[in-house]
Amino acid sequence: MTVETPATPGPPAFSKLATLLSGGLNAIFKLILRSPLHGLLSKSFILVSFKGRNSGKTYTIVVGYQRVGEVLEVLSPRNWWKNIRGQNTAMRVLLQGRWYNGSGQAFHRDETVTATYLRAMQRAPSLIKMYRVEVDASGQPKLESVRQATRNVGVVHIRLAGLE
């Protein structure tokens, strides 16, 4: 008799094919977000420009976000957040067709990460399955499972100047 054990909680692994496809999708999303058609994506996606911590090179990437008050919360299963860690890093953000100046702060392995992912999972329950998070009897994510699932990811909080 075989007993299935649940997969270890955590972010999804990205295959080479998924990475290649996401690069193509990112290029398309960048075009749309910069165009008059940005409304198709602007409620869920933004463009973020920042300088690499070591290289000094400017990167512009597409990221999903959720707005909580004056803060844009960005989940980051990839490593780009490490360019922001421990700093209030200058950023430019294209939000709903308009560029804003702002600053970002990255978090890793702390309660800010757990709380941000919990909010995101409440808004997008598909993240619960994607991150292989255990749920309680009422279908809510178990706190310890969320902590385990997010131990190797980052969260970036962005504050924008002039955002109303």
In whole angstroms, what is the distance from residue 81 CA to residue 79 CA?
A: 5
Amino acid at 103: S
How far does the chain reach from its first CA to its final CA, in angstroms? 59
Out of 54-63, 70-79, 116-125, least confident range: 70-79
pLDDT tens column, 60-114: 999 999 999 999 999 987 788 888 866 689 999 999 999 999 999 999 989 999 9
In the CATH scheme, what architecture does the domain 16-160 have? Answer: Roll (2.30)
Token pair listed for 148: 């385990």
Given a cut of 90, whether residue 163 has pLDDT beyond it is: no
Q: Which residue has the tokens 């300088």?
A: 51
User: Contact at 8 Å (CB) between 45 and 31?
Assistant: no
Asked if residue 10 lies in contact with residue 148, where contact means CB atoms within 8 angstroms, the answer is: yes
Q: Are 89 and 50 in contact (CB under 8 A)?
A: yes
pLDDT band at 115 (very low <50, low <70, confident <90, very high): very high
Domain extents for the chain? 16-160
Determine the pLDDT at residue 79.
82
Separation CA 41–CA 121 (nearest Å)? 19
pLDDT of residue 64: 92
